[in-house]
Structure 1
Amino acid sequence: MKRIYATTIALAAALAPALIAAPAHADPLSQTGQNQLVDRVIQRALSQRGVPFVYGGGDVNGPTNSARARAATTRSALTDITGRAILPSTQGNPPVPGSVTPGLPGTSLVPSEDMPDTTTVGFDASGLIQYAFAGAGIKMPRTSGEQCSVGQKVPPAQARPGDLLCYGPGGTQSVALYLGNNQMIEGTSPAVSVSPARTSNMVPYLTRVLSS
């Protein structure tokens, strides 16, 4: 355990200055076209600052309510035969169907009152990414884990605006859009916001969907 903890600290220390480093230069022959697409993605994401966070919220057309997330949880509840609690994600994505909490006595399926109301429209982390990339004509998968599995994996030292920062195993907990200058935008509680790029719990690579 001590070795794992020390490794985590060392990795975070290595990633922090790398994210601040100047972006690597694209090939000049294709840089203009790629930059235009990246700008569209970033501006589309920035246009949603302040939009509320909603589990399961957002798609290619904009913010939505939590009906999709509620439906997914209901389906999981009906098919889960273990009788153990379904875990909602904690970092900006809808509950993961089939996820359970093993070994906890007295747990039960997540009650409906714990789900977000269906009157508020907004984004979760992956919903915002899907909406942003649709501005460049790119149809992204809907979950953060799927989004972090596409494109090119690049080291943080080569971070460019438009790259994805992924959190949790395989990016399954959350995903954010890197803006450059050590800033990112994320669909997180309480609302879509810009913040310093964080390295805590980040996977050791960035995902580049638009590459030159």
Structure 2
Amino acid sequence: MRSALGLGIAVAMLVGAPGLGGAVPPPPPNPSDGQLQQAGDDVTDRIGQVGSLINEVANADQRLRALDDAVAIKREAVNKALVDLQTARDVAVAAADAVAGTLQALRDAGAQIEAAQVRFDEYAASTYRQGTGVSALSSLIGSQGPDDVLDRAQVVRVLAANKNAVLDALQRARTAEANKNSAAREAKQQADDAASAAEARKADAENAISEARAALADQQAKKTAVEAEKSAAEAQLATARDNVAGLQSQRQAFVNWDTQRAAEQQAAEAAAAAAREAAAAAAARVAADQAARARAQALAEGQRSHVQVEDPDTADITEPDSEETESGDTETATAPTTKPKPKPTKPKPSVTGSAAVETVIDRAMSQLGVPYAWGGGNENGPTLGIRDGGVADSYGDYNKVGFDCSGLMIYAFAGIGISLPHYTGYQYTAGEQVPSSQMKRGDMVFYGPNASQHVGLYLGNGEMIEAPQSGSVVKVSPLRWDGMTPYVVRLVS
């Protein structure tokens, strides 16, 4: 939780309003009257050149936006593969538990059959030695207790009535044992299949990471080239504007610049003060909301880390004693060393209404100014980012404690008891999908094909809070309609 003082450090980056972050350019030159007259003849010749350069800069900006979108999709694909891996591991652990249970039942059935066979053999031998006319009293001699007396009496009656019935019962017991044996084999096969599926998901995650690294490296090289082209075009445009407009335009530009500087400095100071006040108020409310913190902590305790590729819970598998079946086959149970904690399968708020919406927004707003870190963020707050082999690494995200876009949503909604996966595509299907034209305060807003690129939280009045990209921070931005999905997601109303 950041304090109001800490939020003030990055306040210039908190609100995406005009005039912040160096919007006013350096002052242009203020030429003399003689220079103004000399430059007048050049105006007409430069008009066409200015138009061409403006188009070139616009094209470069469009290509940069397309490259950034492609990189964002690759990053979220890695998040998806890691979430799928943890799901497959849970299935493997459950199947291994089923194997252990069926094999224990098989051992119990075998022990019961063996005991029944011993008792039958004993009574059969006794009957043979004493004859069928032995009184019922003699059958009670040597009994171990009331249960044993009843067992002996029952066997004597069965032997006297119909010896074949006893043999049939033993055969049925053997058949039941064989059925349990078959169930154990089937459960073991299911466990093996689930374990194979988990390994396949692991391979998918590793392949996705490798592909993302290669794609990011390629896209970064292209982006660098386009940025160089754009910088060159901007330099040419600056020169052309000087020549076209002439020194008289520079005089007017200086006057306009000075007016703009004064106005935007005043606007920036007002916006910075408002941002500090809003962030500090949200942080204070979040700090005081002990119930929201408790709900978030409870959700975090049941989660696997979505960035964990290796699974320590199933690293060492122990094998119990083998069990030999009637046909000579040997079955071995594979039991997990530990069991994962259960986690929610579908997000449901533990609190609802407008107060719940404001709790979600307060938790997000309390993180204004926290650095962007790819892969960062959980139910309890910002976490250390991870490597991506490209853009995020170049910004040192793996050494930053912060949020990525989906991680910020996890933290915001955990305060009302909603657990979300760390992938925008899955968050897009986590709640009620409402047409984007009907969005309300507290809805999640998504971008990219099937919500694979980005997510933010709508605040109302055309604004949203987001963790936008590497090198940036959690901030309030104007709502962007370009690239938005057809629906927003409403988890609480």
Match of 1:192 in 2: 474
C-alpha separation between the residues in 1 aligned to 2:408 and 2:488? 17
Aligned length: 141
Match of 2:411 in 1: 131
Q: How far apart are residue 46 of structure 1 and its match?
A: 0.3
Relative to structure 1, the CA distance from residue 201 to residue 112 in structure 2 (aligned partners, 3 Å threshold; closer, same or farther) is closer
TM-score (norm 1): 0.61
Q: What is the aligned-residue identity percentage?
A: 46
Answer yes or no: is 1:62 the counterpart of 2:385: no
Written as runs of structure 1 = structure 2, the 5 A alignment for 1:69-88 is: 69-70=386-387
Q: How far apart are residue 158 of structure 1 and its match?
A: 1.7
Report the 3-state secondary structure (helix = DSSP H, G, I; strand = E; otherwise coil) of the residue aligned with 2:360: helix
Relative to structure 1, the CA distance from residue 160 to residue 56 in structure 2 (aligned partners, 3 Å threshold; closer, same or farther) is same
For structure 1, the residue ranges without an aligned partner over 5 or more in a row are 1-31, 74-108
C-alpha separation between the residues in 1 aligned to 2:436 and 2:473? 26
C-alpha separation between the residues in 2 aligned to 1:150 and 1:111? 29
- Choose between structure 1 and 2: higher strand proportion: 1
Q: How far apart are residue 114 of structure 1 and its match?
A: 4.3
Structure number with greater CO (CA < 8 Å, separation at least 6) is 1
- Choose between structure 1 and 2: higher helix proportion: 2
Q: How far apart are residue 156 of structure 1 and its match?
A: 2.2
Answer yes or no: is 1:42 the counterpart of 2:361: yes
C-alpha separation between the residues in 2 aligned to 1:208 and 1:42? 13
C-alpha separation between the residues in 2 aligned to 1:34 and 1:162? 11
1:163 to 429, 440, 443: 443
Relative to structure 1, the CA distance from residue 206 to residue 111 in structure 2 (aligned partners, 3 Å threshold; closer, same or farther) is closer
Superimposed CA distance per residue, residues 20-61 of structure 1 (whole angstroms, 9 cap, x where no aligned partner): xxxxxxxxxxxx941111110000000000000111111111
Q: How far apart are residue 116 of structure 1 and its match?
A: 3.2
C-alpha separation between the residues in 1 aligned to 2:445 and 2:419? 18
1:153 to 427, 433, 445: 433
Larger Cα Rg: Structure 1 or Structure 2?
Answer: 2
Contact 2:374 2:392 in 1 (8 A): no
Answer yes or no: is 1:52 the counterpart of 2:371: yes
TM-score (norm 2): 0.27
Could you list the runs of 4 or more consecutive aligned residues of structure 1 that deviate by over 4 angstroms after TM superposition?
A: 109-115
Report the 3-state secondary structure (helix = DSSP H, G, I; strand = E; otherwise coil) of the residue aligned with 2:477: strand
C-alpha separation between the residues in 2 aligned to 1:157 and 1:112? 33
Superimposed CA distance per residue, residues 75-95 of structure 1 (whole angstroms, 9 cap, x where no aligned partner): xxxxxxxxxxxxxxxxxxxxx
Contact 2:436 2:485 in 1 (8 A): no
Report the 3-state secondary structure (helix = DSSP H, G, I; strand = E; otherwise coil) of the residue aligned with 2:401: coil
Report the 3-state secondary structure (helix = DSSP H, G, I; strand = E; otherwise coil) of the residue aligned with 1:59: coil
Aligned residue identity for 2:383: T
Relative to structure 1, the CA distance from residue 208 to residue 33 in structure 2 (aligned partners, 3 Å threshold; closer, same or farther) is closer
Report the 3-state secondary structure (helix = DSSP H, G, I; strand = E; otherwise coil) of the residue aligned with 1:118: helix
Aligned residue identity for 1:208: R
1:203 to 480, 485, 492: 485
Aligned residue identity for 1:46: M
C-alpha separation between the residues in 2 aligned to 1:54 and 1:150? 23
Q: How far apart are residue 119 of structure 1 and its match?
A: 2.5
Report the 3-state secondary structure (helix = DSSP H, G, I; strand = E; otherwise coil) of the residue aligned with 1:44: helix
